[in-house]
Amino acid sequence: MSANSPNLEVIISRADLKSLQDVEKPSLARISDVTHLSSYNWLEARVPTIAVPGSPALWCPPAGPRKVRKDHGLIYISQNAARHPDCPIEPLFRALYITHPSFDISEVDVISDRNNIRKLLGFINPGSSKYKPDSFSISVEVIKKTAIFSREETATTEFLGPRDFRGFGHEFEKLYTVKKLRQSSGHHRILSYKFGGLDIIIRHETDGFVQLPSDPPPAAKKIEDISNLLGSLTLSTESKAAKVGKTSKSINPHSKLIVTEDGNVVPREFTLEIKTKVFHKPLEIPEIAPQLWVSQTPMLVRAYHKDGLFRDPVAEDVSDKIAKWEQDNEEHLAQLAGLIKKIIEVSKACGGKAIVRYDVKADTLTVSKHQRKDMLPKDLYSKWGISDLTAEHQSTESMSKDAEKAEDDKKEDYKNEHNKNESEGIVEKKDRKKGANRRSKKKDDDKKDNKKDLDSKTKQKKYVKKKSEKKEVEEPTEVQPDNDIAPAISATRSNPSTGLDKTAELSSKLE
């Protein structure tokens, strides 16, 4: 992981991911406390219009094999951005505050489309999908503690002509499900849960739902006259769903989006995802699990065909299999949590606005500062108690710079202290060495002095001894005379005149 200054560009490689995961708390890498918050449908209209809570289409498969034509015409890649390019994330907030007017958004850590999380998970584990990885971008805006991840697409729609082929998925849904809102072009759901120590809100599209236990059997579906059938269908799931009694329009002066109230709330437990595949290429759970896991969608239809001919597809509950996948991929999910936190951290350091880019050639993720307009209308920022987002971001950036400077100063102080200590250590080491040398030299000098003293004393002793011996030779030893001769010696000394005789007498006695 590397960071470039001054624009603060952080590059994250796949090798960096292990350092981001919280290895001490692996249980945090699981989704918990799942709550359905709201939902809405996009409606076919000249101006951006949604119906809240709306309703997904009802899974209502016709009996027997059915031939489905290939997808054609206009296909939405990102319907929210295609229908409301000025503010693709706005419908989420409008639907949320119609359902929960007093919802405290300031306690949320992350708000994102499912697609963004899937892309990040695909970067972490490229083997999670059979499709080749592709470059992508995600815009990030931080408001106080909340980070909004906004999907960025180079194209939001695709038009399929007679010679184009993208499969049978969209046409299959038209044939095997029944719309509950006549003008609907897609149902989006909003849920919250805890993951990796984060409070997250996810928005995702849902293909349909299975019949609720309290629903009466749906009317027989007449394929050749779907429009008449759609006009006669109503929802009657009061025991399991909250029905909106009256359709109304809400026009906000801060927004171009029109909000109507219509539809039924369908519990998450009955929602489903539809996938079509050629019969000789079975769809395995690990391939679809990331998508179902992020949105916590429990039901799955795996519809197999041969040249567009489908045979009796069924809806199955795969929630246990998704839970098993979550357990088996705990390490990758822990890395996902760490990566999301790192993106938020860098985005804050960038002043609150950043762009996440994945470069397929470099195979790295880059997070850098991003100059773009605000993601939301002004009135929605007041939900965080903010009147001026620019001032808030400037304050955040200033605080981030101050914190960064403080951290740099701390590192510099530590470096200086370390260098000082190292320098003092070197000096102290040199001083100790010098002291040791001085002590060693003094010891040697003392030894020499002692040796000199010893030699001097030895010489002196020898000299005294030699001198004494010499004296003994030069001066004979005085013999003490006995009592018999003492008077004679004394007499000789006292009377020299008689010395000769006395000496002779002494000699005679000595002999």
CA distance linking residue 489 with residue 503, whole number of Å: 8
Kindly list the distances between the CA atom of residue 95 and the CA atoms of 79, 82, 100, in Å, as whole numbers in the listed order: 16, 18, 9
- Provide the b/e sequence for 408-446 (b: ≥16 CB within 10 Å): eeeeeeeeeeeeeeeeeeeeeeeeeeeeeeeeeeeeeee
What number of CA atoms fall less than 13 Å from residue 272's CA on the CB side?
25
CA distance linking residue 169 with residue 164, whole number of Å: 14
Residue carrying structure tokens 């999908």 = 129
Res 398: pLDDT: 58
CA distance linking residue 368 with residue 10, whole number of Å: 6
Q: What's the predicted TM-score (pTM) here?
A: 0.73
> Residue 367: which of 55, 72, 7 has the closest Cα?
7
CA distance linking residue 473 with residue 32, whole number of Å: 120
**Which are the contacts of 274, defined by CB distance < 8 A and separation ≥ 6?**
169, 172, 173, 176, 177, 207, 208, 301, 303
Enter the tokens of residue 216. Answer: 């009466």
Peptide bond into 65 cis (omega under 30): no
Ordered alpha helix ranges (H), 283-318: 285-295
pLDDT in tens, 130-161: 777 899 999 999 999 999 999 999 999 999 99
**Which are the contacts of 293, defined by CB distance < 8 A and separation ≥ 6?**
31, 322, 325, 326
Cα–Cα–Cα angle for 228, 229, 230, rounded to 5 degrees:
90
CA distance linking residue 52 with residue 78, whole number of Å: 19
pLDDT in tens, 422-472: 666 665 666 676 667 777 776 776 766 666 666 666 666 665 556 555 555
Contact 262, 250 (CB under 8 A): no
Calculate Rg over the CA atoms of the chain.
Answer: 50
Greatest CA separation found in the chain?
A: 187
For 174, counting Cβ atoms within 10 Å of its Cβ (0-12 exposed, 13-18 middle, 19+ buried), the class is middle
Enter the tokens of residue 341. Answer: 């936190």
Phi/psi of residue 105, nearest 5 degrees:
-75, -20
**Which are the contacts of 290, defined by CB distance < 8 A and separation ≥ 6?**
118, 121, 122, 128, 129
DSSP conformation letters of 148-161: EEEEE-S-SEEEE-
CA distance linking residue 193 with residue 394, whole number of Å: 31
Cα–Cα–Cα angle for 162, 167, 171, rounded to 5 degrees:
80
Pairing of strands 2-4, 9-13: antiparallel
Strand partners, 354: 140, 369
Residue 366: strand, helix, or coil: strand
Contact 275, 170 (CB under 8 A): no
Residues (pLDDT < 70) of the chain are 1-7, 22-27, 214-248, 388-411, 414-415, 417-431, 433-435, 442, 445, 447-511
Contact 275, 303 (CB under 8 A): yes
Pairing of strands 32-43, 184-195: antiparallel
- Rounding to the nearest 10 degrees, give the CA dihedral for residues 376, 382, 386, 392: -10
Res 199: pLDDT: 98
Q: Which helix (H) or strand (E) holds 76?
A: strand 73-76
Residue carrying structure tokens 């329009």 = 249
For 77, counting Cβ atoms within 10 Å of its Cβ (0-12 exposed, 13-18 middle, 19+ buried), the class is middle
Q: Which helix (H) or strand (E) holds 343?
A: helix 330-349
